[in-house]
């Protein structure tokens, strides 16, 4: 049985009862982690300053200015600041994945979402 740890309009975080991995689905991105990997990933994203990176990459040709390498030399996650805020909220209630936090909601004002 899967345990939903958090969810929002564009994604969810759940722990699989079969493989014991933590899965993140956000828009068209799917990530799979063990507990330690998940905690490192969540900590990294919670500490990202979206406004800073949008300014640094202002002249980039990419529409989304927050460029996050994900470990493979040919792959990055591209976000705008509103998407980063939503992803941070999705990861927020899961600071220590071993505590199985209460299911939360990271619903944000959709008028700020740019797609």
| pLDDT digits 0-9 by tens, 36-65 | 999 999 999 999 999 999 999 999 999 999
Give the SS3 label for residue 44. Answer: helix
pTM value is 0.77
Q: Does residue 105 fall inside a structural domain?
A: no
Domain that holds residue 91: 3-96
Dist. CA 42–CA 73, nearest whole Å: 21
DSSP-assigned beta bridge partners for residue 76: 69
Mean pLDDT of the chain: 84
Dist. CA 21–CA 31, nearest whole Å: 10
Q: Does residue 102 fall inside a structural domain?
A: no
Question: 103 pLDDT exceeds 70?
Answer: no
Query: What is the count of structural domains for the chain?
Result: 1
Number of other CB atoms surrounding residue 1 within 10 Å: 6
Question: 72 pLDDT exceeds 90?
Answer: no
Give which of 42, 17, 46, 43 is closest to 31, Cα–Cα: 42
The stretch 63-89 carries a mean pLDDT of 94
Q: Does residue 88 fall inside a structural domain?
A: yes
């Amino acid at each position: 049985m899967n345990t939903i740890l958090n969810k929002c309009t564009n994604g969810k975080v759940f722990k699989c009862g079969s493989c014991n991995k933590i899965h993140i689905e956000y828009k068209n991105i799917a990530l799979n982690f063990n507990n330690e990997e998940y905690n490192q990933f969540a900590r990294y994203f919670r500490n990202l300053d979206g406004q800073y990176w949008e300014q640094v990459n202002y002249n980039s040709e990419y529409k989304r200015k927050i460029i996050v390498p994900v470990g493979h030399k040919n792959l990055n996650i591209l976000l705008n600041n509103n998407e980063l805020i939503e992803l941070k909220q999705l990861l927020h209630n899961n600071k220590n994945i071993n505590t199985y936090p209460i299911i939360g909601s990271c619903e944000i004002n959709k008028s700020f979402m740019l797609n």
